[in-house]
Amino acid sequence: MAMLNHLTTACWKKVQNDRLKKQLFFICRALHKSAASDAFGISEAGEGAMPESVISSAAVSEKPRILSLEEMPGPSTLSNLVEFFWRDGFSRIHEIQMEHSKKFGKIFKSRFGPQLVVSVAHRDLVAEVLRAEGVAPQRANMESWKEYRDMRGRSTGLISAEGEDWLKMRSVLRQLVMRPRDVALFSDDVNEVVDDLINRVRILRTQESDGATVLNVNDLFFKYAMEGVAVILYESRLGCLENDIPQETQDYIGALHLMFSSFKTTMYAGAIPKWLRPVFPKPWDEFCCSWDGLFKFSQIHVDKRLSEIKAKVERGEEVKGGMLTHMLVTREMNLEEIYANLTEMLLAGVDTVCVLCNPCVCVRVCQSWVSRVRFLAPHPFLCSCASVRSEQ
C-alpha cells in the first residue's frame, strides 16, 4: 500500500511538472511570439492555436515591466559626440543606426547635444507608431526649422506644419497632387523631361573617349529630379538639363545641394545650443543660407506666375494652368503659405525622385504603374528599363 501511494504521488508530481512546463511554454510564446516561434520551430500560423484552458489567470497575471525613458538603452552622450562630431558619423548615419539596433535592440535612445532622439528600428514598430497618430502628424524635433521660419517671418509648409495648419494645407493639396487621376494630368510634362534626360545622356556619351560612359550620374539624376518636380510645382522649365543652365537655377541647385549635403549641418544646427553659436557659427549660418536660397527661388517663380495671371485677367483672357495657378487663383492659402509649401514640396520631391533613380526601385515603381494605374501612360524608356531588368 505504501509503495502504491509512493507511485501515485510520483505520477501526480510528474503530471504537475508537465503541466507547469506547458504553461510556461505557452506564456513565453504569447509574450514573445516571433522570438519564441524561431526558438521552438513553431510556424506563425500555429501561434494562434494556444488553448486558453492551459493558461490560468494566475499564470498570466505577471506582465513584463515596461522600461522608462531613463532606463531605455542606447549609446552614451560622449560616444555619440565622438562618433558624429569627431568621426563625421553623419555621412554614414544609416550604418551607425544599424550597429546601434544590433547592440541596443529595436528601440533605443540617443542624445545630440540638447536633443533627445528615440530611434525605432523595426518596420512593424514604425507602422504602429504612425498608426497611433491622430488626424494630423506629430513632428519630430524641428526646432531649427521653426526658429529659422520665425526669424525670417516665413510660414510652415506641408513638411513642417502640424495640427490645424497641416490639415488646412493638406485639404488644399490633396485635390491637386494626391489622387492618381489628378497626377495623370502631369504625365505629358514629365515625359518631356524624361525625353530631355535621354537626350542629355546621349550628349554626355559623345563627349567621352569611349562614346558610352556617363560621368557623375548622381548629379545628372539630381538635375533631372529637380526639373521633373519643378515642371509640376512651378508649371515651368528650369533648364537643368541644358548645356547652359540659367544662373538663378544654378543658384538654386547650389542651395539644394547644400541642404542635402548638410544633413549633418541641420543636426549640428539643432545640436549646438544658441549660446554656443557665436563660437561655432558655421553650422547655423549654412543652415540659414540654404533655406534662404530655397525660399528665394520659390518666391521668384511664384511671383512670376502671379504676374502672368494678373496680366491675363487685365486683358480679359481665361486663366488656365496647373497646381500653382489653382493655388494663386483660389487663394485657399495665403502667399507666404504658397511659398513655403512649394519650397518644401520641391525639396521632398527631389529627394524622393533621387531614391527612385535606383534601378531596382525604378523597375518596381514602373511595374506598379502598369499593373495598378492603367489610365497612366508610362514612358517607353521606363518600361524598357523594367523589361530589361526583369530579363536579367
CATH number of the domain encompassing residue 204: 1.10.630.10
Name the domain count of the chain. Answer: 3
* Dihedral angle computed from the Cα positions of residues 31, 34, 37 and 42, in that order, rounded to the nearest 10 degrees: 110
For the chain, how far is it from start to end, CA to CA, in angstroms?
79
pLDDT of residue 360: 64
Same-domain pairing of 49 and 92:
no
The single-letter code of the amino acid at 314 is E
Considering the chain, what is the average pLDDT of its residues? 74
Does residue 5 carry a pLDDT above 70? Answer: no
Angle at 37 between CA 32 and CA 42, to 5 degrees: 145
Burial, 113: exposed, middle or buried (Cβ in 10 Å; 0-12, 13-18, 19+)?
Answer: middle
106 part of a folded domain: yes
Same-domain pairing of 203 and 347:
yes
Identify the helix (H) or strand (E) that includes residue 95: helix 93-104
376 part of a folded domain: no
pLDDT band at 35 (very low <50, low <70, confident <90, very high): very low
Same-domain pairing of 36 and 86:
no
pLDDT of residue 308: 92
Which domain range does residue 6 map to? 2-54
- Per DSSP, the three-state class of 111 is strand
Does residue 14 carry a pLDDT above 60? Answer: no
pLDDT of residue 192: 92
pLDDT band at 372 (very low <50, low <70, confident <90, very high): low
pLDDT of residue 20: 42
Q: Name the nearest CA neighbour of 26 among 12, 16, 36, 18.
A: 36
Per-state percent for the chain, helix, strand, coil, to nearest 5: 70, 5, 30
pLDDT of residue 46: 43
Does residue 45 carry a pLDDT above 90? Answer: no
pLDDT of residue 365: 63
